[in-house]
Amino acid sequence: MNEMDLRPNIRLLLVDDHTIVRESLRDLIQREADIQVVGEAGDGESALLLVRQLAPDIVVTDISMPGLDGFELTKRIVREFEAVRVLALSTHLDRHFIQRMLDAGALGYVNKSAGRVELLQGIRAVALGRGYLCQECAVMLAKALGQADHARLGRREVEVLKMIAQGNSSADIARQLFIATGTAEVHRRNILRKLDLHDVAGLTRYALREGLITLTEG
């Protein structure tokens, strides 16, 4: 492995109102050769300023914070900074909180009781634009969900939706399902239309929220 291989390529901003939590997370994350903590914030307003100044790839944020909380912070980031992705890191292991964060625009959710490995998997998955739920959250969410809107999709459309949410391109899907790339594109357009969604990020959050995918490792 040469020096170029060790250069950090994921620029990360930490947001948590507890200094000791930020310090612990920074020490843990900075051990990884491919991730660099470029800034820290203790509240949502400060985080927004740092996103504008530092242009991180990922914001890892708590939910319960004074002033601008994690829900509103995530909405603002997604609305104002197209290239910045959000991973929620919270003590709340509750379907309502997970769904609200995904609806706000977060691509992943990790409970603070999860281990180091799951947090790093989440960071790397979200950096690639993939959805991620820690195992504890995924199991809880899957148990809580019943039949949802995806019942209106055909069997093959559900299959394609899962593959899109896992980061596969239309060409990848066509190759794995032994169909034409054009057919995969038609499925993609039909899924977006039926679910009234507009992009891959929306499909990914939908698939996570509805329990169609539970865990995507980077």
What is the distance between the alpha carbons of residues 126 and 210, in angstroms, rounded to a whole number?
18
Q: How many CA atoms lie within 13 A of 128 on its CB side?
A: 18
* Edge-to-edge strand ranges of the sheet holding 58-61: 35-41, 10-15, 58-61, 85-90, 108-111, 132-133
Quickly count: other Cβ atoms within 10 Å of residue 54's Cβ.
Answer: 14
Q: How many CA atoms lie within 13 A of 2 on its CB side?
A: 1
- pLDDT of the chain, 218 residues: tens digit per residue: 444 454 568 999 999 999 999 999 999 998 999 999 999 999 999 999 999 999 999 999 999 998 899 999 999 999 999 899 999 999 988 888 888 898 899 999 999 988 899 999 999 999 988 888 888 887 776 665 544 555 577 888 888 888 888 888 899 998 998 888 888 898 888 888 888 887 888 888 788 777 676 554 43
Residues 6+ apart with CB under 8 A from 28: 116, 119
What is the distance between the alpha carbons of residues 70 and 158, in angstroms, rounded to a whole number?
30
**Amino acid at position 112, single letter:** K
Q: What residue spans in the chain does CATH classification 3.40.50.2300 cover?
A: 3-143
Residue 129's SS3 state is coil
**What CATH number belongs to 148-209?**
1.10.10.10
What is the distance between the alpha carbons of residues 78 and 59, in angstroms, rounded to a whole number?
11
What would be the CATH architecture of the domain defined by 3-143?
3-Layer(aba) Sandwich (3.40)
Q: 136: buried, middle or exposed (CB in 10 Å: 19+, 13-18, 0-12)? A: middle
Radius of gyration (C-alpha) of the chain in whole angstroms? 18
Its pTM stands at 0.69
Residue 130's SS3 state is coil
**Amino acid at position 7, single letter:** R
- What is the Cα 96 distance to its own chain's centre? 16
